[in-house]
Amino acid sequence: MESIEIRKSLKQDTFEGVDFLDLDDLLTDEHKLIRTSIRDFVKKEISPYIEDWAQKAHFPTEIVKKFGDVGAFGPQIPEQYGGGGLDYISYGLIMQEIERGDSGMRSTASVQGSLVMYPIYKFGSEEQRNKYLPKLASGEMLGCFGLTEPDHGSNPSGMVTNFKDMGDHYLLNGAKMWISNSPEADIAVVWAKNEEDRIHGLIVERGMEGFTSPETHGKWSLRASCTGELVFDNVKVPKENLLPGKSGLGAPLMCLDSARFGIAWGAIGAAMDCYESARKYAAERIQFGKPIAGFQLVQKKLSEMLTEITKAQLLAWKVGKMMNAGKAKTVHISMAKRNNVEMALNIAREARQIHGGMGITGEYPIMRHMMNLESVITYEGTHDIHLLILGQEITGIPAFV
């Protein structure tokens, strides 16, 4: 990428957490240690630069190796493959702290861990695991996940990307769109149909002839994250790059469950950042002779923010316990993702009002979080699709068709 001069913020990140109901009592000492480690990392490596990265639509490629060093990639993957061997609450806390820094930064980490490393670990061969996972975990390699297509978003089963068996290799054709990490990715886990219309995962490597990943420009959201397409024009994929462990649409959807769980936690981080900024600003901003924190309507906003954050924390923690026990279903994760992202977006909008005109500037994180969350509420299952997933569970009647 082109060289861009980044201005370091003079503001110090002093965030210490939001925990009204002493929810830390529900966490282990290891959980709290992991959270502190990532929080310190965000304060040092993301907070001082994120506003300038976002203003300049710059993805800092150097953050990839730093994420690897701090253990943000695949923390739930076993240690033998380079992961952290941690539980899902640890994974959630890591995503929460990174998204407090920025949703685009969390996207980079969660795509790597849940959408690239997870399918290779879960559905890959032992040779694939040993070849790719340690390099992905360390940040030596960056990966992306190719499911969404230009004409198939909420209905991925309609995908047209396909591959044919040519004897000694597969021939891959098609295109994917709105792919986080794609312009910088070394590998892509691509979902495509074979000649029997069965969906399989393929590992496509940078440098394979006919594989390109044009960048998406002009985004008003996730501006510090790199987004692009994946284009396959008669790409020869070695047969050993097929993920052998599972086929069908259920395979990529399992990956998305893991990623959506991370989003449910991550959105809490964005909400916390907006709430803390609004609380501090309200205490400092004087109008009519007193801090605006002393006015009823501002107190109403702050009280509702704290209440909603607390409810979201409990929801994320409970689903995390269910994930650890192997009891979490897609519907549980859909509820958490949908609720917590909507909560965060509402808090961002209310916080913007408390900040007044200052809320639209890069002096405060509010508008950046708000724009980011407009993507988060749509990707990895739109807000309305998650509502219908829950509706089907309640009624037994699918409303998608």
| E runs forming strands in 161-262 | 162-165, 169-180, 187-193, 199-205, 211-212, 227-238
| E runs forming strands in 195-316 | 199-205, 211-212, 227-238, 286-287, 290-291
Beta bridge mates, 287:
290
Q: Which CATH architecture has domain 23-138?
A: Orthogonal Bundle (1.10)
What does the pLDDT read at residue 4? 82
295: number of CA atoms within 13 Å, CB side?
14
CATH 2.40.110.10 domain span(s) along the chain: 143-247
pLDDT of 105 strictly over 90? yes
Mean pLDDT of the chain: 97
pLDDT of 401 strictly over 90? no
Nearest to 247 by CA among 167, 192, 195, 205: 192
- Find the Cα–Cα–Cα–Cα dihedral 267, 271, 273, 276, rounded to 10°: -160
Nearest to 346 by CA among 382, 290, 307: 307
Distance CA 224, CA 369 (A): 11
CATH 1.10.540.10 domain span(s) along the chain: 23-138
Q: At the topology level of CATH, where does 143-247 sit?
A: Butyryl-CoA Dehydrogenase, subunit A; domain 2 (2.40.110)
Distance CA 294, CA 275 (A): 16
Provide the annotated active-site residues. 380
Residue 209 tokens read as 């002839």
Confidence of residue 10 (pLDDT cuts 50, 70, 90): confident
Tens of pLDDT, residues 131-171: 999 999 999 999 999 999 999 999 999 999 999 999 999 99
CATH superfamily of 250-395: Butyryl-CoA Dehydrogenase, subunit A, domain 3 (1.20.140.10)
CATH 1.20.140.10 domain span(s) along the chain: 250-395
